[in-house]
Chain A
Amino acid sequence: MSLKTTFQQHPERRYIMFGGKGGLGKTTFSAATAYWLASQGKKVLVFSVDPQASLSDIFQKDIFGKGPVKIMENLWAQEIDADQHIREYQNEIRQKILDMYGFEAVPDEIEQYIQAASAEPAMEESAIFDAVVDIVVGGNYDYYIYDLVPLGHALYYLSMAKVYDEWINKITKLREEMREYEEMVSRLKREKETEEDQILRELQYIRTRINTSSRILTDKEKTAFFFVVVPEEMILVDTQKAANLFAKFDVPISGYVVNRVVPRELLSQNIPSYLRNRIEMQDKYLKQIDEMFGAQVASHVPELERDVTGLPMIEKLAGIMFGE
């Protein structure tokens, strides 16, 4: 099934993701798909969850950390600045402590913890994860296109939702048990009411946020996940492994897009053996792709004469991908 028909038959799939190994064209396809949808009159936001995002490069416009930036009619792009997000978040926590206890300054011990926690390796991913929730909860767009991180990180991103969820469940349970003891004491002391447990409320808030995000990633109705592959052995092996893992996390895989296919027409021309060999190699793996993924292959995209940056090139690529 072609990409165009997939999109036309499933207008309810509003969350579009391109995944795959690094450097295969995830950002390029995200941009091209966003462009095509926008030109069809849909309001589209393409955003990157990659700390080393390259949407700025492809749109040739500095959008890093600037919120949604309008690229053209109906099309917005956003690159999340994780560091900025973390800084704002830290300040929010500090302010809350100052407000709650009327301190002049955050106690040393607490300040150290805030800084140490932010240096954790998981912090950046978590911050982006959290920022994405804000983006998708907003719901202002017809389509949300995730320019995902390379495979390994994407898996981490997915599993993080599960780990968080379990963690929250456990501590919520503990918190609820604590609540029972508190209520027992109030009953014994014949006090009318216990204070509302703020922490429990916070935990429930955190849980809703995490669930929102992971629900979208695994929503078979509303999400379409595409793998980007190129006809090369290593890529195919890795992609198949990843596809299995993604399936385990219930990510609905909608199709595969094959990139960098050297145009067959060249064969009829007088071309050097170097190129001829490459085409033969690709033929072998294209056959393999066909056997592996069959009808799930949504599009073949040729190796273009130059790299895809700037709107005219994106438009050209969108034309190829969506068959216009």
Chain B
Amino acid sequence: MSQDTPSTPKKGFFQNLKEIMYGMASHDMSRYALRTRASMEHLFILITMGDMIGIPILPPYYSLRLLPYVVPQISTWKRRLLREKDVSDAMF
């Protein structure tokens, strides 16, 4: 969810080093964390908006309040929850 920051035309040496270190040390960890975060996001939408895919979950009045915030995620969420599992799930 990070915003694009306007990049400077030429990166300094330390900036490059920082990115290399990041790639070597923590890129995997943050990717993993992001993935976990994404599945939790989907779980959250399921709990609040379950009605949308036919799972009735209490209570609709207040879940409507949350609806605007999850609008962009709705289609990926539906795709993820309703798709069949295949071998690529294990790979990615």
Contacts and interface: CB of A to CB of B under 8 A. Distances in A.
A295 B24 CA distance: 78
B44 A178 contact: yes
A117 B66 CA distance: 13
A126 to B, nearest CB: 3
Contacts of B52: 109, 113
B40 A174 contact: yes
Interface residues of B, number: 37
Contact of A113 (B18, B22, B51): B51
A96 B74 contact: no
- The residue among A100, A170, A199 with the most chain B CB atoms within 10 A of its own CB is A199
Contact of B64 (A101, A117, A160, A191): A117
A191 B2 contact: yes
B31 to A, nearest CB: 9
B37 A126 contact: no
Nearest to B48: A171
A123 interface: yes
A185 B59 contact: no
Contacts of B59: 122, 126, 160, 163-164, 167
A198 interface: yes
B91 interface: no
B68 A97 contact: yes
A116 interface: yes
B39 to A, nearest CB: 10
B1 A195 contact: yes
Contacts of B64: 89-90, 93, 114, 117-118
B54 to A, nearest CB: 10
- The residue among A100, A101, A113, A164 with the most chain B CB atoms within 10 A of its own CB is A113
Interface string A119-138: 01011001101100000000
Interface of A: 89-90, 93, 96-97, 100-101, 107, 109-110, 113-114, 116-118, 120, 122-123, 126-127, 129-130, 160, 163-164, 167-168, 170-171, 174-175, 177-178, 181-182, 184-185, 188-191, 195, 198-199, 202-203, 205-206
15 contacts: A97-B71, A100-B68, A109-B52, A117-B60, A122-B58, A164-B59, A171-B47, A174-B40, A178-B44, A182-B1, A189-B26, A190-B22, A202-B66, A202-B69, A205-B65
Interface of B: 1-2, 18, 22, 26, 29-30, 33-34, 36-37, 40-41, 43-44, 47-49, 51-52, 58-72, 74-75
